[in-house]
Amino acid sequence: MAISRHALSRLTPLCHCSLPPLAGLSSMSLAKRHLSPGCSFSACASPLAENSTHVESLPRKKMDRWKPMCLYFTQGKCTMMNDPGHLEKFNHNCSEGLQTDFAESKQLSSQNVDFLLVLDLEGKVEILEFPVLLIDTKTVQVVDFFHRFVRPSKMSEQRIHEYIQGKYGKLGVDRVWHDTAICFEEVIQEFEAWMIQHQLWGKDLGGPLNRAAFVTCGNWDIKTKIPQQCRVSGLKLPPYFMEWINLKDIYLNFYNRRATGMLTMLKELHIPIRGSHHLGIDDAKNIAKVLQRILADGAVLQITARRDSKVPENVEFLYKDRIR
């Protein structure tokens, strides 16, 4: 299996970390690290996650002003990389704001997996956006990303237009959605090719991820929405969606605090939200910042939910204390 099972327990398996007063890294010896050489985008010189209360006593470099992501670039379709005005207006580095020195933390624990895939889907009727950030558990750095907008398969063009206008029009990204969205089947094919490239999964082997695990903010993304969309699109549920880590349950058991969502965790950890809430790629980046902080504080992440291999609709929740 992709993740060792002996560590799993119905009892709360994480050591508690007291949040108040949200301190703990100020005394750590932190040294600057860059992304691994295999990263597909350039590393930026940002220090630790901005405004973290953990590192207020450390010297800081001036942070560059925040810029929205170029959503053509995140899907490999930007044609304006030589336009200075475009580069000034939009960010083309998905790791911007996610660079950390947490790898030097003395509290950082060894994990059961080498990589974590932060997934945060968007779309209530059908999936509209499929963003994934890949985090190396040894360096706590984002080393790559996968992002696609998804075109619904069972809606009329008029309904799609209304749906996208209501969802993304208010964020000003409806045009890029219409320009780039592809069907869910194509998204899964491209996602699998991306995972194979990173040796996270092999089509010939099938089965679970290789030394990796999905991380979601809640159970909805993989427990509910992926199977629903597979049924709508006429696809068999991929075997790598059989287990996942619910960050809410990790947060509850590690910090001994209930957090109902991403915004609560960001607020309690004094991490500023960046980007547009409910734009999937921005939410995935904000969830990744929470995940980086939890890893730096010493949490050992374990699978929190697993499907029955014979009856995938049946899901077993592995933590006694969990967010319901």
- Using pLDDT thresholds of 50, 70 and 90, give the confidence band for residue 205: confident
DSSP H/E element including 265: helix 262-268
| Residues that are catalytic | 122, 278
Percent of the chain with pLDDT over 70: 80
Percent of the chain with pLDDT over 90: 73
Instruction: Tell me whether the omega of the peptide bond preceding residue 272 falls within 30 degrees of 0, making it cis.
Output: no
Please, which residues have CB within 8 angstroms of residue 324's CB and are 6 or more apart in sequence? none
- Using pLDDT thresholds of 50, 70 and 90, give the confidence band for residue 18: low
User: How high is the pLDDT of residue 21?
Assistant: 45
Tell me: the pLDDT tens digits for 233-292? 999 999 999 999 999 999 999 999 999 999 999 999 999 999 999 999 999 999 999 999
Three-state DSSP class for 79? coil
Cα separation of 33 and 45, whole Å? Answer: 9
Tell me: the pLDDT tens digits for 182-196? 999 999 999 999 999
The reported pTM is 0.80
Of the candidates 211, 212, 209, 239, which has an alpha carbon nearest to the alpha carbon of residue 226?
239
State the angle between helix axes of 226-233 and 184-197 in degrees (0 to 180), rounded to the nearest 10.
120
What's the whole-number mean pLDDT along residues 85-113?
88
